[in-house]
Amino acid sequence: MMSEDETPEDIQTLPLDGWHRAQGARMVPFAGYEMPIQYEGIVAEHEWTRNHAGLFDVSHMGQLLLSGPDLDAAVEAVLPIDLSTLKLGRQRYSLLLDENGGVLDDLMVSRWPEHLYLVVNGATKWDDIGHLREHLPDDITLNHLEDRALLALQGPEAVDALARHTKGEQSLSDLTFMTFGQFTIAGHDVTIARAGYTGEDGFEISVAADAVEEVAALLCGEPEVKPIGLGARDSLRLEAGLPLYGHDLSPDTSPIEAGLVFGINKRRRSPVDQGGGGYPGAERINREIVEGTSRKWVGLALDGRLPAREGAEIFAGDTQVGTVTSGGFSPTLGHPIAIGYVDAAHAEIDTALEVQVRNKRLPARVAKMPFVQHRYFRGS
């Protein structure tokens, strides 16, 4: 009843590989690496993260450091970001776009004292590096931090568990959503950002690859923390309405269709003669911001228990009006949820639609996203 996953020959291992296996993880190939899909079970891990704190190994992601003369101007020629408003200690979501405004990747950009630090998706990092190298001036240095691992600690109790181990000039609890700082954990230098991919409060911890096992073990020694696999990472981000590159975003989608207009910073949206534009795909994207798009990325809530998954066709009556790009069962809500692109005429909240799963048409309703409320810490 099951087909075994094909194992490509060039599959690589991450620094925590042995540790995951010792924790009872089931490992699968993902983004070119052996990664843990689950430990005790996806639903249990999902619920643990929503209620306590989950530790995710996201070391497959690319950590890049950029430096050089006129760095901001050089990076603004490649990304639709306004770096003049990105202050030291802050990070921001941005998009790597092709000349047509299609999405090559989504990423985080952080302002370090002398550098910009980027975190890009694991499956796309080699292409991203090639793209950046090609489009950035030669005097901009791009350093791929392959000797760094990346952990995410997510959930309402993450701050308590992590604060027991961090030392730094500032207190961990001073960090607010989308800010970062330098700390030490057990004497190891770490960069900690208050951010994540679950909709919960939480942190992302960049640490030397040769120290990551010690840090992971310390954190999982806390009563609030359990290791969490990729399966729950996907169901958590789906409930949080966050797109997954390669599924919800691709070169065939524009960020405006995907509702990511915030990824095009305000100054960059102006017409070129008013100082806007100047990034790949600006013409199409700035036009879409004004005129709207013919399709939109929407959330769908389904009745019953049968999930609609990526590729499922969305119907209004007998007419196909869209396609599901991500879908699954929501452990928090107890029913299936999905995300997909539909014709703009059918994108209003509460629009009744149907989704085809095998030989069944399942009733679905356009739902507000996020499906489960974000609980980011924006300051008290």
Binding site for another protein (CB under 8 A): 1-2, 37-38, 41-44, 46, 231, 235, 304-307, 309, 328-329, 331, 336, 358
Cβ-based burial of 356 (10 A; exposed 0-12, middle 13-18, buried ≥19): middle
Q: How many angstroms separate the Cα of 289 from the Cα of each of 57, 112, 186, 275?
A: 36, 31, 48, 16
Contact 65, 80 (CB under 8 A): no
Q: How far from 48 is each of 58, 96, 200, 244, 307, CA to CA, in Å?
A: 18, 33, 12, 22, 22
Min separation Cβ 45 and another protein, Å = 10
Which amino acid belongs to residue 32? Answer: G
Query: Which CB atom, from 6 or from 305, has the smaller least distance to another protein?
Result: 305
| Residue 71 or 312 with smaller CB distance to another protein | 312
Q: Are 248 and 297 in contact (CB under 8 A)?
A: yes
CA angle 344, 263, 100 (to 5 degrees): 65
Distances (CA, A) of 16 to 4, 13, 52, 58, 214: 24, 8, 22, 10, 10
To the nearest whole angstrom, how small is the minimum distance from the Cβ of residue 310 to another protein?
Answer: 10
Closest separation in Å from C-beta 372 to another protein = 15
Give 190 or 314: the residue with its C-beta nearer to another protein: 314
Between residues 175 and 232, which has the closer beta carbon with respect to another protein? 232
- Identity of the residue, 80 or 328, whose beta carbon is nearer to another protein in the bound complex: 328
Cβ proximity to another protein, 235 vs 293, nearer residue: 235
Tokens of 274: 């008013």
Minimum separation from the CB atom of position 223 to another protein (A):
24
Q: Of 53, 380, 87, which is closest to residue 196 (Cα–Cα)? A: 53
The counts of H helices and E strands in the chain are 9, 20
Q: How near is the Cβ of 288 to another protein at its closest, in Å?
A: 34
- The CB-of-38 to another protein minimum distance in angstroms stands at 6
Work out how close the CB of 200 gets to another protein at its nearest, in angstroms, rounded to a whole number: 18
Q: Which helix (H) or strand (E) holds 144?
A: strand 141-144
C-alpha span between 223 and 220 (Å, rounded) = 7
Of the pair 304, 363, the CB lying nearest another protein is at 304
- Give 7 or 141: the residue with its C-beta nearer to another protein: 7
- Give me the least distance between CB of 315 and another protein, in Å please: 19
- Which helix (H) or strand (E) is 182 found in, with range? strand 180-185
